[in-house]
Amino acid sequence: MVRRAGLRYTGTVRSADSAPVQEAAVSAPVRRFPCPLRRFRPPARVVGAAVATAALLLPLVSAAPSATAGRPPAEGAAQRDYAAAAAEYGVPVSVLLAVAYLQSRWDGHGGAPSVTGGYGPLHLTDARAALASAPHHGHGTEDPRGDGSRPAKRVMEARLPEPSALPPRLRTLERAAELSGLSPERLRTSASANIRGGAALLAAAQRELGGPASTDPGDWYGAVARYSGADDTATATTYANDVYEVIRSGERRTTDGGQEIVLPAHPGVVPRTSQAAGLGLRTASRGASECPVTVACEWIPAPYEDLGGGDYGNHDKADRPASSPVEYIVVHDTEATWDVTLGLVQDPEYVSWHYSLRSSDGHIAQHVPLKDVGWHAGNWYVNAKSVGLEHEGFLVAPDAWYTEAMYRTSARLVRYLARRYGIPLDRQHVLGHDNVPGPTPAAVPGMHTDPGPYWDWAHYFELLGRPFVPSAGPRAGVVTIRPRYEAHRPLYTGCARPGEACPPHGSGAVRLRTEPSDTAPLVRDAGLRPGGGPSTTDVNDTGARASTGQRYAVADRRGEWTAIWYLGQKAWFHDPVRRPAAVGGRGPVVTPRAGAASVPVFGRAYPEASAYPAGVPVQAVVPLPYALGAGQRYVVGGRVPGEYFYAPSFDTSGHRVVRGEEEYYEIQFGHRVAYVKVSDVTLSRG
């Protein structure tokens, strides 16, 4: 197999030696607005002022241009709300805007809570209220290990905490209500009130830390770090460093409420990083963790224990990449709070993953060494060749949103992993759990669907420095799915109750139909519904869905509609010129070899039977209930050898990596990836 070249860090380094900017408090009428409070979220790493400054100089890779100081702020209602709140509480408006950007990118989300119960643009947390209305979500029937050589591994339901046990970082809305005099309901549901609540929290943090009532944004470093809600210095300072990077570079964005907000660039701001020493936070131990220096990371190991009777947990010892290359990064959400997540991964009878990421502040905990195999993806072939990232979220509703702090630290971690293992930064190697194929026909219906249609893949890949841009003309034979996330709001159902419409929400997924018409039926997924039932608009139904960044071969075009090859059929999506849902792409494609009416498709790339040595049971290469038909084309993600990691026991002496002569192409087949044998297909340029 050909290994890929390592990726190079392409971020710019900014100088911090310019003079501080003195920013006058904005003169604006003081108004009483109801506004939801937003919850603290700490940064990712840096112990001490020197390290904090170093991390500040390492911004995320981003394709989006910064707002410039020469462009005056728009005078919309939201911009005025920030100015008024800043003036009322004596907070520099750039600090308030930057904190809100790092929490929510200034979106209000219609009053819906984030995955950890944070409300509004300032992400004021009220997990007690969020949990009270949370629908129940189970684990389904997926076997997280997905290894047919041993009994299925079943897991218990996540144990959500009692509201009385919630930590302060999940209850910041209460404090904002006390400080602002605004009701919790207004802080949850009114964006303007939420902004005021956040300003009140920042001002209170500045007072409590003994900071000056200053108009210089650099004097608010300690208060910003405190706002994160982090309990360790590294996370709090990493969060603050990200906020100050936003202040220095500036931002301009139209929110989900249609309001344009501008934060002009202030490149001369010099944060007083020495204030971090006065926060009184713990020092998290990085221990054996494997993380980039630009994130706050600690080592909280998952146990490797013999449970007796041939059972053990909760991962497998290996020697990657020496024994087998790491090919994939799998993005999950936890369906549990942070404390519950840590408790589960430290249970030897539970399952495991490599990293957990906290929503409130982006803090990272590593549990399994990268050389070892976690039980997380539901497909043993993918598990053996992947790193699993669990993002905190108890899914108060499947349309719950993720914080910018978590997106940013997750992107830093993924860039680090991609560079370390030569993993391409594309959607056939950076997978959602919902893109992992079922290993066998029986497993397909029970595969998980997280992080779901509301994870913002376009923004995530901008942070990775690999935005989805056209690589070919509008009539290209390959397209990359890329609707405009904020404006693209297809109807989903089942967020709270079956059949009930979900609240309107931005989405990176397009819906696929049998004909170029909004009234045509959705395409069918023969594996998801073996009985032949139709696909639905349910938020967890992936049967007729293509997601941002996924690439497909074009099957047809008609007016404002484009058809792609998908699960062995033509699948149409609305793709008007003025509001395109995809951009032209390029890449190799496969089609059945000459003379073949169709070829089988597989959920794992296992070797041929003759490759297995004595003592290692042959793993059947079972086709999925789909076929790749003559004349159809599917985009190739890579060429891989047939491979199986045999690890059935706690004693690792019998562990083997079996590699055969049979080779496979990974293809984008439906919403999930799949594999076809190289000997069954012909490769050509798309």
Please report, for the chain, the start and end positions of each structural domain, with discontinuous segments joined by +.
Answer: 49-133+161-279, 285-453, 471-581, 591-685
**In this structure, are residues 546 and 671 in contact, taking their beta carbons and an 8 Å threshold?**
yes
Q: What is the pLDDT of residue 163?
A: 65
Q: How many CB atoms lie within 10 A of CB 647?
A: 22
- What is the C-alpha separation between 384 and 376, in angstroms, rounded? 10
Q: Which of the residue ranges 58-67, 169-178, 472-481, 544-553 would you say has the lowest mean pLDDT?
A: 58-67
pLDDT of amino acid 579: 95
Handedness of CA 488, 130, 121, 332 (dihedral sign): negative
Distance of CA 306 to the CA centre of its chain: 33
pLDDT, average across residues 524-547 = 94
Residue 167: its pLDDT value, please?
84
Q: What is the CATH number of domain 285-453?
A: 3.40.80.10
What's the confidence (pLDDT) of residue 134? 55
Q: Which whole number is the average pLDDT over 5-34?
A: 32
pLDDT at position 398, please? Answer: 55
Give yes or no for residue 56 having a pLDDT over 50. no
E strands, 507-648, in order: 509-511, 545-547, 551-558, 561-566, 569-574, 582-585, 588-592, 598-602, 623-629, 634-646
pLDDT above 80 for 236: yes
- Choose between 59 and 456: higher pLDDT: 456
Sequence-separated (6 or more) residues with CB below 8 Å from residue 312? 304, 305, 306, 348, 649, 650
49-133+161-279: CATH number: 1.10.530
Asked whether the predicted pLDDT for residue 83 surpasses 90, the reply is yes
| Confidence band of 28 (pLDDT split at 50, 70, 90) | very low
Question: What is the model's pLDDT at position 430?
Answer: 98
Q: Answer positive or negative: Cα dihedral of 491, 496, 498, 499.
A: negative
Residue whose entry in the numeric block shows the structure tokens 């308030």? 96
pLDDT at residue number 544: 98
Decide which of 470 and 494 is more confident. Answer: 470
- Which secondary structure element, helix H or strand E, spans residue 659, and what is its range? strand 656-668
Instruction: For residue 42, give the nearest of 334, 393, 408 by alpha carbon.
Output: 408
Residue 7 has pLDDT above 70, yes or no: no
Say what the pLDDT of residue 55 is. 39
What local confidence, expressed as pLDDT, does residue 160 receive? 62
- For residue 333, the model assigns a pLDDT of 87
In the predicted model, is pLDDT for residue 41 greater than 80? no
Percent of the chain with pLDDT over 90: 74
Residue 59: per-residue pLDDT: 47
Greater model confidence, 6 or 154: 154
Residues 540-566, mean pLDDT to the nearest whole number:
97
What is the predicted pLDDT for the residue at 179? Answer: 98
- pLDDT at residue 48, rounded to an integer: 36
Q: How far is CA 441 from CA 119, 385, 527, 621, in A?
A: 41, 21, 6, 11
To the nearest whole number, what is the mean pLDDT of the chain? 87
pLDDT at 546: 98
pLDDT digits (tens, 9 = 90+) for 265-324: 999 999 999 999 999 999 999 999 999 999 999 999 999 999 999 999 999 999 999 999
Residue 430, amino acid: V
- Is 114 in a helix, a strand, or coil? strand
- Report pLDDT for 156: 65
